[in-house]
Amino acid sequence: MKKVATYCYQCVAGPDLLTVKVADGVATEVEPNFSAADVHPGGGKVCVKAYGLVQKTYHPDRVLRPMKRTNPKKGHGEDPRFVPISWDEALDTVAAKLADVRARGLVDESGYPRVAASFGGGGTPQSYMGSFPAFLSAWGPVDMGFGSGQGVKCYHSEHLYGELWHRGFTVSPDTPLTNYLISCGANVEASGGVAGVWRHANARERGMKRVQVEPHLSVTGACSAEWVPIKPKTDAAFLYALLHVMLHEAPREKLDLEFLYRHTSSPYLVGANGFYLREPATGQPIVAAALEAKETHVSLETGADGELLAEGSLEGETAFAKLVAHMKPYSPEWAERICDVPAARVRRIANEYLDAACVGQTIEIEGKTLPYRPVAVSLGKTVTNGWGGYECCWARTLLAALVGALETPGGILGTTVRLNSPLSQRQRSVRSGPDGLMGHPFNPTDKAHWSAQPNIRNAYRSMVPLVGDNAWSQALGPTHFSWMFLDQTPPGLPRVTLPDVWFLYRTNPAISFWDTQAIEERMARFPFVVAFAFTRDETNHFADLLLPDATDLESLQLIRIGGSKFIEQFWDREGFALRQPAIAPRGEARDFTDIATALAQRTGLLEPYNAAINRGTLGVRLGDFALDTARAHPAEEIWDAACKAASFELSEGKEANGLAWWKEHGLATRPFPRTAWYLFPTLAVKGLRFEMPYQERLLRVGTELGRRLHEHGMTWWDKQLAEYQALPAYKDFPGEWEQALVAMGGALQDYPFWLLTSRSMQYAWGGNVGMQFIKEVADNVAGHSGVILNAGRAKELRIEEGDWLEIATPKRSVRARAVLRQGIRPDTLLLLGQFGHWETPVAKDFGMPSMNSLVPMSLELTDATGSAADIARVSLRKAA
Amino acid sequence: MTTWAMVADLRRCVGCQTCTAACKQTNDTPVGVQWRRVLDMEVGEYPDVRRAFVPVGCMHCDDPPCMHVCPSTATRKRADGIVTIDYDLCIGCAYCAVACPYQARYKSSEDAKRPDVATKCTFCVERIDAGLAKGLTAGVDPEATPACVNSCIAQALHFGDVADTTSNVSALLAENQHFRMHEELGTGPRFYYLWDKAP
């Protein structure tokens, strides 16, 4: 028996470092990598999903040979009639298609890439696809904007606005220090991975009070000190009321006035037209002498497109003063009517937060004295995406800023950057921008540079300035446009076309996107689909080729670990970990790197492919260990070079350990300073301010975007343009989904329930849904066998545990068994996870539906960032 | 005298079932058999409701009802407190499964790895014995610690010797308020639940 060190990165809360026991060439058991206990912030433990890897490897329904479709008709009810073929035939077929594309031009008549690729959420497939990114890089333009969940259904507003405000693509409490946490729908016990669970357990035992605000009592609510059962999608009202209490009821000195004045844009003077007053000579915003002031200065007020709105002796009011006036109407009594949370409770929570903020206190970390502000607000999915997402993210960031808990010990931290570079070094991504604020790579909205010619089908560059234009931006645009506009492209955009070739890996949009039936119908029209396949599933049902890659325990890859990334993944170490074959690949499955190399060879792209690897596409620049670009290298050779380069980087040139060393040791790390978790000191040193509370930049960008769109006859984005407010007002966010119901022909009284979803930790990100082992243990957690509804409400409706129910919108319906619980609002239904499988082995027999098929895909429900939310108004009745 | 015990900290458990999975894999239990599992419980009525996660399994009782009803003497209690089943002696009558107030025992099927016998949590006794033989400390060194404890991602599960006042589990019991399940039955379960700091 031997133990092989490797990692699990099946969801973004990874990587977990583990060992696999192998006896006689058979993988038998997963264990934590006990040697990583001091390296990993979760004690080196491994989440439940990784324990399914053994069964995944030996799954009886694995695709073990390349297969081709023999039924040219595609459709839900069409049997693809896959038949086995050789690898040579499979690769030749793909290469021939790609050669044809290259001959006809890499982009089509609409200017869109003819090749598209979709990968599963959060970039996690990259930790399994070996050198395939180097092949895509060598290929040229690829449309990676066909959504399968990312973009529309992620923490989208947090990603975009969080990164703008504090390099917080993902945002986390500084859990090791936070003492008071308001968690609006954030389900960290299910979604925060091992590090999240471990740290929050420590925090609870330490005495951190967590107030869980959400319509149902999630596992995180269960582990919280208090549950506030708020009406769905009204979180912004709750947060606004907290701000109201802090600004209008609490003594001003309870706030961190120093932080607000010195480190935020609060003292900037705002002119009569809503833009900053600026020094005539420098164009810089004028900073008032006090936080709350009206001052008159000889100044300029410049609006969108550089338009001079006013000049001379102008009166301005500080951004903070405008904020105070803006929040006046949002009292706890006002919020009570919207949120169904008693005003007294809102007020108490606001005051508890203030009392716990420790304004004025400091802490010493690694010899540096920093502000100590142990209070935080975390936001979950459906709160941070779709209409209301902007308002919630703004309110949350402002709640931190008011007490100086933004990027300071104990407060809220951005833990990842994705739209700025360098991706792996958040601190270095801080660059000076205009107006004494951090720079952000907005897509241009000025007349000279805005483009009505998108580079990919979801048009992120034209429609969403905030999302920037790097490798991640494609997947963070309005990814449903690629699907939705296939039938009818709105005026101003080139006609959305089908890609000639679509690559799929570890993604299943036919299950995980919204309006999944509509997705299926469109997918069936794709002319040539290549799916790297583990088993058959609902998306590769429409594929032309299935290619079996060697799976988690069978293949080779080196990844970066540690540093700061994803929500709770901020570590005290950083380095690399190796995934290595614990056993030989089953059947004819091939290492993904070897597949990528073979494709590069067959398409004549070997040289640029190797060059891309040398440049650092594998996550580390190869430098002195660069590959000979003229020849094909086996996977072991490629990763040996990567291992040496990684070792060289980690040891600052002292070592160059190759693959053999990494296979033996599994990982290597070096310290990552804790002070690097906090951005506040970096901004302070650079003399930059956090852009809070007033969003002059967004107002300017939104105004310009509106002008550009209108100049091109594009009025269909007007509703979204209204989101660009400098101080966002509360809107009737639940009303958006109520209107959607009415638009579908429903009457509200006939569809009285709010249908929500919630993370299942056991199935998070879906890659293990076909494991009997996971199903068995997941069923111990309520909600995995049906729809959760309030037991009292069920009694009124004469529904009993286990009854078959029909959940419906006017357009579609699903069936689920009743799971009766007390921990859910009487007006709310909950379907855990994303199921509804009809092809994936094992999962298709669960009898568990998904809300995804019920949520309409519509422009009306799309916010300005291009995102929507998992929520729908539905009816409920006993099924016949 | 060594007395092995399990301690579950209810403040820390998140019901993730990682222990359930680790136990199943380490002990290779059949489909549907969970020597360790975590209950997902609710108490109260909306909106005054609490949800709690409670790890359960064989309690390795001081006075195990399962042992008393065993007609073949297959179920025994070791000097260190671990309740064992000798599969060679077990006749699979399942009296013990009925007698156990903790529903911790399973009667295996004919085609199981351990066919037609009663099975239950062993506290990973082989692992403990092998670890101790190497001079390791159970509950501290992973090689001498039950798989469920090793796997716990919340540090909710602990294992050790409650007879040793300096052990990890003794410290936890001294520092925290705790209870045992169905203590009124007099079985003397060796599975303690922590729920708050000691006053």
pLDDT at A608: 98
With b meaning 16 or more CB within 10 Å and e meaning fewer, what string describes A429-467? Answer: bbeebebbbbebbbbbbeeeebebebbbbbbbbbbbbbb
CB contact under 8 A, A205 and B49: no
pLDDT at A278: 98
> Residue A607: is it exposed, middle or buried by C-beta count within 10 angstroms (0-12/13-18/19+)?
middle
CB contact under 8 A, B34 and A780: yes
The bridge status of strand B157-161 relative to strand A16-23 is unpaired
3-state secondary structure of A486: coil
Instruction: Round to whole Å and give the CA distance between A737 and A747.
Output: 12
Instruction: Round to whole Å and give the CA distance between A155 and A416.
Output: 13
For residue A560, what are the CA distances in angstroms to A36, A139, A578, A646, A662? 15, 25, 9, 9, 13
Mutate to test the interface with A, among B18, B20, B150 (most CBs of A within 10 A): B18
CB contact under 8 A, B21 and A189: no
CATH code, A717:
3.40.228.10
pLDDT digits (tens, 9 = 90+) for A62-76: 999 999 999 999 999
pLDDT digits (tens, 9 = 90+) for A219-232: 999 999 999 999 99
Please tell me which of the candidates A48, A219, A825 has its beta carbon nearest to residue B18.
A48
Please tell me which of the candidates B11, B25, B45 has its beta carbon nearest to residue A822.
B45
Residue of A nearest to B155 (CA): A198
pLDDT at A309: 98
Q: How far off is chain A from B142, nearest CA to CA, in Å?
A: 8
pLDDT at A44: 94
Is there a single domain that holds both residue A188 and residue A287? yes
Residues of chain B found within 8 Å of residue A202, distances taken between Cβ atoms: 155
CB contact under 8 A, B53 and A194: no
Peptide bond into B71 cis (omega under 30): no
Q: How far off is chain B from A782, nearest CA to CA, in Å?
A: 7
CB contact under 8 A, A777 and B17: yes
Is there a single domain that holds both residue A336 and residue A231? yes
pLDDT at A863: 97
Q: How far off is chain A from B29, nearest CA to CA, in Å?
A: 11
Is there a single domain that holds both residue A247 and residue A396? yes
Q: Are A834 and A532 in contact (CB under 8 A)?
A: no
- Comparing C-alpha atoms, which of A472, A462, A520 is closest to residue A160? A472
Please tell me which of the candidates A42, A780, A781 has its beta carbon nearest to residue B153.
A42
Residues of chain A found within 8 Å of residue B34, distances taken between Cβ atoms: 776-777, 780
Tell me the pTM: 0.97
* Of the listed ranges A145-149, A286-290, A723-727, B55-59, the one predicted with least confidence: A145-149
Instruction: Round to whole Å and give the CA distance between A201 and A203.
Output: 5
CATH code, A868:
2.40.40.20
Q: To 5 degrees, how large is the angle CA B11–CA B13–CA B16? A: 155
Q: Is the Cα dihedral A537, A538, A539, A543 positive or negative?
A: positive
Q: Residue A557 forms beta bridges with which residues? A: A579
Backbone angles phi, psi at A216, to 5 degrees: -130, 160
CB contact under 8 A, A201 and B11: yes
Q: How far off is chain B from A380, nearest CA to CA, in Å?
A: 18
Please tell me which of the candidates B32, B45, B51 has its beta carbon nearest to residue A222.
B51
- Decide if A384 is inside a domain: yes
Is there a single domain that holds both residue A738 and residue A695? no
Interval B33-47 mean pLDDT: 98
pLDDT at B133: 98
Contacts of the segment A442-445: beta carbons below 8 A, 24+ positions apart:
A442/A466, A442/A468, A442/A697, A442/A701, A443/A467, A443/A468, A443/A469, A445/A701, A445/A704, A445/A705, A445/A708
CB contact under 8 A, A46 and B51: no
CB contact under 8 A, A780 and B17: yes
Asked whether the predicted pLDDT for residue A423 surpasses 90, the reply is: no
Longest dimension (CA), chain A: 85
pLDDT at A861: 96
Mutate to test the interface with A, among B26, B51, B158 (most CBs of A within 10 A): B51
DSSP assignment of A366-424, as one string? TTEEEE---EEEEE-TTTSSSTTHHHHHHHHHHHHHHTT-BSSTTSEEEEE-SSSS-TT
pLDDT digits (tens, 9 = 90+) for A402-412: 999 999 999 99
Please tell me which of the candidates A780, A782, A821 has its beta carbon nearest to residue B37.
A780
pLDDT band at A767 (very low <50, low <70, confident <90, very high): confident
| Arithmetic mean of pLDDT over chain A | 97
- Comparing C-alpha atoms, which of A214, A234, A209 is closest to residue A224? A209
> What's the distance, Cα to Cα, between the start and end of chain A in Å?
55
Q: Which domain holds residue A241?
A: 156-432+681-721
The bridge status of strand A294-302 relative to strand A308-318 is antiparallel
Backbone angles phi, psi at A562, to 5 degrees: 75, -155
Q: How many domains does chain B have?
A: 1
Residue of A nearest to B148 (CA): A31
Instruction: Round to whole Å and give the CA distance between A120 and A339.
Output: 34
CB contact under 8 A, A201 and B21: no
Residues of chain B found within 8 Å of residue A45, distances taken between Cβ atoms: 18, 151-153
CB contact under 8 A, B20 and A222: no
DSSP assignment of A716-752, as one string? TTHHHHTT--SSPPP--HHHHHHHHHHHTT--GGGS-
Q: Are A782 and A821 in contact (CB under 8 A)?
A: yes
CB contact under 8 A, A219 and B26: no
Q: What share of chain B is helix, strand, coil (3-state, %, to 5)?
A: 25, 25, 50
Residue of B nearest to A763 (CA): B16
Tokens, residue B196: 């708050």
Q: Which domain holds residue B62?
A: 4-197
The amino acid at residue A87 is W
- Decide if A72 is inside a domain: no
Is there a single domain that holds both residue A166 and residue A267? yes
Chain position carrying tokens 């409920």: A876
Residue of B nearest to A226 (CA): B50
For residue A573, what are the CA distances in angstroms to A38, A671, A673, B6? 9, 4, 8, 32
CB contact under 8 A, A782 and B31: no
C-alpha Rg value of chain A to the nearest Å: 27
Q: How far off is chain B from A852, nearest CA to CA, in Å?
A: 24
Chain position carrying tokens 């539905």: A874
Interval B114-120 mean pLDDT: 94
pLDDT at A152: 77
Instruction: Round to whole Å and give the CA distance between A554 and A425.
Output: 31
Mutate to test the interface with A, among B152, B153, B158, B196 (most CBs of A within 10 A): B153
- The number of C-alpha atoms within 13 Å of A403 and in the hemisphere containing its C-beta is 34
Residues of chain B found within 8 Å of residue A761, distances taken between Cβ atoms: 16
Is there a single domain that holds both residue A245 and residue A347? yes
Residues of chain B found within 8 Å of residue A54, distances taken between Cβ atoms: 25
Is there a single domain that holds both residue A169 and residue A305? yes
Residue of A nearest to B52 (CA): A222
Asked whether the predicted pLDDT for residue A122 surpasses 90, the reply is: no
- Decide if A217 is inside a domain: yes
Instruction: Round to whole Å and give the CA distance between A681 and A16.
Output: 30
Interval A762-780 mean pLDDT: 94
Is there a single domain that holds both residue A392 and residue A251? yes
Residues of chain A found within 8 Å of residue B149, distances taken between Cβ atoms: none
Tokens, residue A389: 């997402």
CB contact under 8 A, B46 and A822: yes
Mutate to test the interface with B, among A33, A56, A205 (most CBs of B within 10 A): A205
Mark which of A693, A721, A749 sits at the end of a domain: A721
Q: How far off is chain B from A36, nearest CA to CA, in Å?
A: 13
CB contact under 8 A, B150 and A761: no
Is there a single domain that holds both residue A742 and residue A717? no
CATH code, B169:
3.30.70.20
Mark which of A672, A689, A721 sits at the end of a domain: A721
Residues of chain A found within 8 Å of residue B156, distances taken between Cβ atoms: 201
pLDDT digits (tens, 9 = 90+) for B142-189: 999 999 999 999 999 999 999 999 999 999 999 999 999 999 999 999
Q: How many domains does chain A have?
A: 2
CB contact under 8 A, A217 and B155: no
pLDDT at A496: 98
Asked whether the predicted pLDDT for residue A243 surpasses 90, the reply is: yes
- Comparing C-alpha atoms, which of A853, A757, A57 is closest to residue A383? A757
In chain B, DSSP finds a helix count (H) and a strand count (E) of 6, 10
Residues of chain B found within 8 Å of residue A30, distances taken between Cβ atoms: 22, 25
- Decide if A767 is inside a domain: yes
Q: How far off is chain B from A850, nearest CA to CA, in Å?
A: 21
pLDDT at A175: 98
CB contact under 8 A, A201 and B14: yes
pLDDT digits (tens, 9 = 90+) for A557-575: 999 999 998 889 999 999 9
CB contact under 8 A, B21 and A51: yes
Asked whether the predicted pLDDT for residue A359 surpasses 80, the reply is: yes
Q: Are A787 and A805 in contact (CB under 8 A)?
A: yes
The bridge status of strand B106-107 relative to strand B118-119 is antiparallel
- How many other CB atoms are there within 10 angstroms of residue A859's CB atom? 16
Tokens, residue B56: 């359960």
CB contact under 8 A, A229 and B47: yes
Is there a single domain that holds both residue A805 and residue A704? no
Is there a single domain that holds both residue A237 and residue A316? yes
- Comparing C-alpha atoms, which of A158, A210, A209 is closest to residue A187? A210
Asked whether the predicted pLDDT for residue A695 surpasses 90, the reply is: yes
Tally of residues, chain B:
199
- Decide if A43 is inside a domain: no
- Decide if A629 is inside a domain: no
- Decide if A347 is inside a domain: yes
Mutate to test the interface with B, among A29, A223, A226, A790 (most CBs of B within 10 A): A223
Residue of B nearest to A32 (CA): B151
The predicted complex's ipTM stands at 0.98
Interval A87-92 mean pLDDT: 98
pLDDT band at A150 (very low <50, low <70, confident <90, very high): confident
Residues of chain A found within 8 Å of residue B47, distances taken between Cβ atoms: 227, 229
Helix A343-356 × helix A235-248 angle, to 10°: 60
CB contact under 8 A, A197 and B16: yes
Residue of A nearest to B18 (CA): A48
Please tell me which of the candidates B12, B17, B44 has its beta carbon nearest to residue A822.
B44
